[in-house]
Amino acid sequence: MWGGRVGALLRVRRLQPAGVSGRTLLSCNAVSQAGSSSPRCWNCGGSGGAGREDGFFCPRCRALQPPDPTRDYFSLMDCNRSFRVDTTKLQHRFQQLQRLVHPDFFSQRSKTEKDFSEEHSTLVNDAYKTLLAPLNRGLYLLKLHGIEIPEGTDHEIDRQFLTEIMEFNERLAEAQSKDAVEEIESTVRARQKELIDSASQAFEQDDFEKAKEILTKMRYFSNVEAKIKLKKTPL
């Protein structure tokens, strides 16, 4: 599953000084934020800094450190802050982090470390889920740029689109067979793919207003997808 390219990337990364990995590609802002927060180790009082392996463990006493609140999901998951994400690499990083911070590995450690491992684990799960799904990834990326889309943002969406969604919902409600549901599903999937491609373009051009509009549409389709899933689930 781990392609040669991913393996090569990881080998290269291991050669870099600890703490630097993956951050070179981030914006300067994120780097300076992450770099400025290297508090002393809660356990031995040793200073963090460049010697801290990816910020998780104290290089002196090896105690697990608390999560870095200034670190965003992209940095945590070692991804560029971009809508385009290499999902194989993301999955690999998720597994790597799970092996580092999973609470099972801390059952014999102090209460503090157990608590930190729980916090890290939750954060890693949330980061992975958020960056894996295009809609959530896009919404998160917009949030990092200070833009949020409240639920029920109807007024900015064109009528034609809303009619399309309404028709999908009606067709779904009327669908009597598995084939009929699957036909709707494949059409919706194709529409989502088109929207994902458009969102990619909008983010690449830093056109956040456009991205916002596209993600709002993706959210409508995501609701239709949830209904499809429900309909396919045997009672």
Q: Say how far apart CA 64 and CA 119 lie, in whole Å.
A: 11
Residue closer to Zn ion, measured from CB, 35 or 46:
46
Q: Which is nearer to Zn ion, 29 or 108 (CB)?
A: 108
Give the residue with the Cβ less far from Zn ion, 58 or 202: 58
CA distance 235 to 231: 9
Q: Please, what is the minimum distance in Å from the beta carbon of residue 146 to Zn ion?
A: 36
Smallest distance, Zn ion to C-beta of residue 138, A: 39
64 vs 188, beta carbon nearer Zn ion? 64
Shortest approach of Zn ion to residue 37 CB, angstroms? 16
List contacts with Zn ion (CB under 5 A).
41, 43-44, 46, 58, 60-61, 63
Q: How many residues does the chain have?
A: 235
Number of neighbouring beta carbons within 10 Å of residue 219:
17
Whether the Cβ atoms of residue 116 and residue 66 lie closer than 8 Å to each other: yes
Report the nearest approach of Zn ion to the CB of residue 110 (Å).
Answer: 12
The answer to whether 81 and 144 are in contact (CB under 8 A) is yes
Residue 145's region, left for phi above 0, alpha for psi from -120 to 50, else beta, is alpha
